[in-house]
Amino acid sequence: MRRALAAIAAVGALGSGAASAGPADVVAARAVCQGDTCTIQATVRHADEGWNHYADRFEVLDPDGKVLATRVLQHPHVDEQPFTRALPGVRIPEGVDRVRVRAGDSVHGLGGAEVDVQIVRGK
């Protein structure tokens, strides 16, 4: 009986790890701009499990959903959650005063929480 319960607990533990690593969420973002070029900083949370399932990118989109820039994340962040990374050199078209930042992972693609960021153009 103890072995059966231990086996059930082990299977449950394995299953819960996969379920906990849902889509990647952007939990915070900001823009630091000089003219029409910005550095976008995004804080991403994802239950990275290793190379087979991790947050692998974040994107910056204009209000119409056009991707302006993508930051590819080169490795898992298993022990660093949430984590913040920057994407410099993002050209923001004239007239755009807000962008959306979203993240993706290697299993689910895009689909987690997104954050809108106000663009304040510096001189």
Average pLDDT, the chain: 83
pTM of the model: 0.80
The band of 57, judged by pLDDT with boundaries at 50, 70 and 90, is very high
Tokens 């807000």 -> residue: 98
Bridge-based pairing state of the strands 55-61 and 98-105? antiparallel
Q: What is the DSSP string of 40-99?
A: EEEEEE----BTTB-EEEEEEE-TTS-EEEEEE--S--TTS-SEEEEEEEEEPPTT--EE
pLDDT of residue 20: 58
The pLDDT tens digits of the residues spanning 93-122 come to: 999 999 999 999 999 899 899 999 999 987
Torsion of CA 47, 49, 51, 57, to 10 degrees: -10
Q: For the chain, give every domain's residue range.
A: 22-118
Of the options 3.40.50.1100, 3.40.640.10, 2.60.40.10, 1.20.1280.50, the CATH number for the domain spanning 22-118: 2.60.40.10
pLDDT of residue 123: 64
In the predicted structure, residue 54 carries a pLDDT above the cut 50: yes
